[in-house]
Structures are given as structure tokens and as C-alpha cells.
Structure 1
Amino acid sequence: MTPAQGVFVAGTDTGVGKTFVSVGLVRALVAAGRRVAVMKPIAAGTDATPTGERNDDALALLAAANVAAPYERVNPYALRLAVSPHLAARNAGVNIELPRIQQQFALLAADADLVIVEGAGGWHAPICDSATLDHGTMADIATALGLPVLLVVGIRLGCLNHALLSAAAIRASGAHLLGWVANTLNEQQPLRAENIDTLTVRLGTAPLTIVPAGGDQVAGDALDSHWVHGAAALDHALTMYRTERPVSP
């Protein structure tokens, strides 16, 4: 069996549609016959249930996947407060441990063709108390898992700066920027196409797909053309990445 391919879904900010895009792509990949597992390593903002703390984003991902897994494997750190992960962890008296996340990812990967791992917040969202910019952030999870990164860009005012800074930070971390998705958050946003064109030039690649306006309010449908196109483009990008990446000694 071919080892599972994983993708880390990052966002330019909180609220740009990481979960919505992840769910849409997972559904399309499942419809295409792939065995897809999902993971939300850290979720800040949970509800108490009879079976423990549960996060809506993690539950949405789990519902879209076709590889069954215990909730605790999908979301190892379910933190009550909807704040920055490091503050939520501090409030809960929890230390975020990368080996635990790596262990749960390995269990998911063993049963899947592909694991979609969704981050929380932006690339440098802190996950622990640290005095440095690039230590103890969401980036550490992606690099610890050795995953290429799919960047979700919320197309709105300020998206150019946010996207370019995020892409630069991803590359500076040593991670591979696999591609990006343009998620249209506001249909009234002036010059949406021009913003996407600008990012295409400056990021050096066109978006894997463009999600139409209203997508952040409407549940993803794997039959919609933008999801089918995006899943096919993601699959192709992964194939190219697997072919071109250096082979470890």
C-alpha cells in the first residue's frame, strides 16, 4: 500500500474559510474514490458533550471523511476557549506536544490514501508560550509532520498583503507551498478578479480553484464544479510534489 499523502491546510487569517474549503475538497476527493482521513490537531472553541469536548470544525471534517477514526485522534487538543491556541491551552492547563500530534497523524495515515490536516488561525498562530516569532507556532505542526501546505486566501480587502506574507513565511519555514485556494468571502468586494490575478502573478501560480461568493455560509457540495476542479488540481499537485521532492537517504 502506498503511504498516505498528507496536506496541511493553512489560512491567511482566522475566518478565511479553512474548514469550508477543507470539507469541500474532502467531499470531492471521497467522491473521486479516495480514502480520505482528516485531522484538526488543535481546536480552540469547544462545547461540552457527554463524550467530551467537541469542536464544530473538527466534527464537520470528520463527517466529510470516509476513513473512520475516534474523535480524539482527529482532534487531539480540544480546547474550550475560542482564543489563540496558546492562550486556550494555557487556560486549560494543557501543554501542546508535537509527538502526540505526530502519533495520531501516523495512525490516521496508516488507513488512508490522503490525510487533510487543518490548522488553526494563521501560519504563525502561537501554540505555546514562546518569546520568538517562529518557534511554538502552527508552522511547527506542519513541519513536524513533513507536510506540503495548501494556503486558503480569503478574497477581501487586505488579502494581497496577508497572502504574500503568509506565502513568504511558509517558504521561510522550510515547508513546501503546494498551492492556494481563492475563497471569495464577499461578492461586493471590488476588483475581485484583479486581486486573484495579482496573487497569481506574485505567488507564481494560479489558484487550485476559486470558491464563489457565499461559500462561507453555504455547506460545501462535492458535486459543485469548483470542488471537483480543486480536488483534481490538488491531486495533480501532490503527484508532482511526490515526484519532484528530494528522496531522503
Structure 2
Amino acid sequence: MPAYFVTGTDTDAGKTLVTSGLLALARRRGLTTLGLKPVASGCEETVEGLRNVDALALEAQTRPALPYATINPVAFAPAIAPHLAARRAGVTPTLNQLADHVRAPLALARELTLIEGAGGWRVPLNDREDLSGLAVGLGLPVILVVGLRLGAISHARLTAEAIRTDGLRLAGWVGNLLDPGFAADDALYRDNLATLAATLDAPCLGVVPRLAGEDHRALAEAAADHLALPDAD
């Protein structure tokens, strides 16, 4: 099973929930796993250094285990766009640097490897490059997490178009319910999902309901119940 890049229709679309859920599902099936978060902002200072809750969730689903620095090599404290967080830190991360960071773990050839982006597809990495350029440079198929709320159809279609314009294959999409009100009218909710399925032209890997709780391991297991692994083609 190849590596995939996981992006979302926006910030907080549910990329980490879906990524950790897919990894948890793979682990249930006895597969080796690897979750990477190359760039993370919104990190907390700990005795071990900066730690990001999303990266920790991916680390927990990585088997065999790897050091945190391998999972999240570039970390920033402010919970803002990565290029702005980097500017405040006085550094300029580049796509070449990120590619160097991820090549060694990718070479481990785990049976499922997921690389989670930050924000949406067009989030900047620096003044000249977008983070999506990492997926382009590595030629990775993409899994799109669609935050299900008002506007989801347009956001999803625009993101899918951008992914294909950049020359990458959309390997699948996952709906993640953000607004319970969006599903209040069951018939309308199903019509929205049908429109997404018809217009995204990629397999639906699942629809995750609104999940409560803060334990990332429990959330990953709950999400896994609603997901399917992508086809390795």
C-alpha cells in the first residue's frame, strides 16, 4: 500500500481525526503503519521540547513506534499559518528541507503511510512555496477530508480541482461531520453526500459522524469504525 498525503477542505476539517482513524484501522488488520506531520504550528512547550497534539495522535498510531522528531520534524508554538509561525521564529522552512525529513521514514515502506498536511491545500509554507508542493514533489496520491458543513460542496470541489491541476491523483475522500445541524434534515444530508460522491469522482472512504471526547486514541478507534482503507493502485 503506497504512501498518501492527507489534506482538508480547510483548517479543522478533521484531517487528524481521519488520518489517525485510518492508521488505527490498518493496525486492526495487522498492518505496519506510519503517520507523519512534517509541519505543525500550535505546539506546546514541554520538557521534551515543542509538542503538537495532532502529531502526538499520529505518533500513537504508528507501529512500530518512531521518535517524535521523525513524526513532526518542524514545529512552531503559535497556532497560526505555518509560514507566519516560521516568520515569527525567524526561520524559513522549504520544500527541499521537508522532503529530506520525510525520505528516511518513507524508505521504511510501512504498509500504510499517511502524511498529514496543515490547513487546506493552498496553505503557504513560505513566501514562494505551498505545503502541497511536498505531495507534488513526492508524487503522492491524495486523500481529501471534507468538513461537512454549509459550503462543503464548493470547498471540496475546488480543492479536488486544485489537486488534479497539480498533477496528482485524488485517491479518495472522507466526509467528517463538523456541524450537527448540517445533518438535521436526513434527506438533505444524504443529498449533499450524493452530490459530493458524484462530483468528486473519487472513492468515498467513509463518513465520520460528530464524535465527542478529547482522548485521541479513543477518537481514532471510533473514527476507524466508519472508514475504509484506500485501494493500493
Same fold per superposition (TM over 0.5): yes
Structure 2 equivalent of residue 29 of structure 1: 26
- Alignment deviations for residues 159-209 of structure 1 (CA, whole Å, 9 cap, x no partner): 011001000011111111111001112232142211110111111234111
Is 1:144 paired with 2:176? no
**TM-score, reference length from structure 2:** 0.90
Amino acid at match of 1:25: L
The CA deviation at 1:225 is 3.1
Is 1:182 paired with 2:175? yes
Amino acid at match of 1:123: W
Structure 2 equivalent of residue 128 of structure 1: 126
Amino acid at match of 1:164: R
1:172 to 146, 165, 189: 165
- Alignment deviations for residues 142-173 of structure 1 (CA, whole Å, 9 cap, x no partner): 11222100000011001011001000011111
Secondary structure of 2:40's aligned partner: strand
Which has the bigger relative contact order, CA under 8 A and spacing at least 6?
2
- Alignment deviations for residues 108-154 of structure 1 (CA, whole Å, 9 cap, x no partner): 12322221100000000011013xxxxx1121111122210000001
**Counterparts in 2 of 1:80-119, with a 5 A limit?**
80-111=77-108, 112-119=110-117
Amino acid at match of 1:143: V
Residue 43 of structure 2 contacts residue 77 of structure 2 at CA under 8 Å; is this kept in 1?
yes
Provide the rounded CA distance (Å) in 2 between the counterparts of 1:164 and 1:142.
Answer: 19
The CA deviation at 1:85 is 0.8
Structure 1 gap segments, 5+ residues each: 131-135, 241-249
Structure 2 gap segments, 5+ residues each: none
**TM-score, reference length from structure 1:** 0.85
Provide the rounded CA distance (Å) in 2 between the counterparts of 1:222 and 1:32.
Answer: 15
Identity of aligned residues (%): 40
Give the root-mean-square deviation of aligned CA atoms. Answer: 1.8
Amino acid at match of 1:35: T
Deviates more, 1:98-107 or 1:37-46: 98-107
Residue 28 of structure 1 contacts residue 222 of structure 1 at CA under 8 Å; is this kept in 2?
no
- Alignment deviations for residues 195-237 of structure 1 (CA, whole Å, 9 cap, x no partner): 110111111234111112336867121685313xx12xx1x2x
Provide the rounded CA distance (Å) in 2 between the counterparts of 1:32 and 1:223.
Answer: 15
Cα 1:45–1:187 shift into 2, 3 Å: same
